[in-house]
Amino acid sequence: MSNQSVFKDDFKNPHAMGYFSLLKTASWIEIQIKEALKPYDLTHPQLNVLSVLARNYPEPMDAKTIKESLVVASPDVTRLLDRLVKKGYINRQTCPSNRRKIDITATKEGMDFFYKVHCEAKEAVGNYFETAISENEAKQLYRILGKMKF
């Protein structure tokens, strides 16, 4: 079978169709969130950092743990944190029990801002797809996507 035939067959193959649909949907989601965050001068990775800190609030976290917890991968967490410090949404301070460790926490303003913006981003994608798929379909989607992690 030629490469050309394989390529043409991809558009009849349910696995290929699922793959292309997943990529297109992921791109659509990213665009929706980017547009929702634009008025707030916030990026999706910055929102993701605030989300990680909100789940742990008021306890501090270190940069390594934050990076490992991110849903939206960001290679340069340090610069991401710098921007959030500048905006007043997070604080960085030396850990009292380990001077080599830096504790990172969300500020009160950062938490208030996060909850407001999180709701906007959530609405931008149909409240986590609640407007498009049933709870059972959401569970199936979660299960299927979980199987795809290698």
Burial class (CB in 10 A: 0-12, 13-18, 19+), 133: middle
Peptide bond connecting 60 to the previous residue in cis, omega within 30 degrees of 0: no
Q: Which pLDDT tens digit goes with each residue over 66-100?
A: 988 887 776 788 899 999 999 999 999 988 888 88
Q: Which pLDDT tens digit goes with each residue over 2-41?
A: 555 555 666 678 888 888 889 999 999 999 999 999 999 9
Is CATH 1.10.10.10 correct for 31-147?
Answer: yes
- For the entire predicted model, the pTM comes to 0.82
**Which residues, in sequence order, are bridge partners of residue 91?**
105
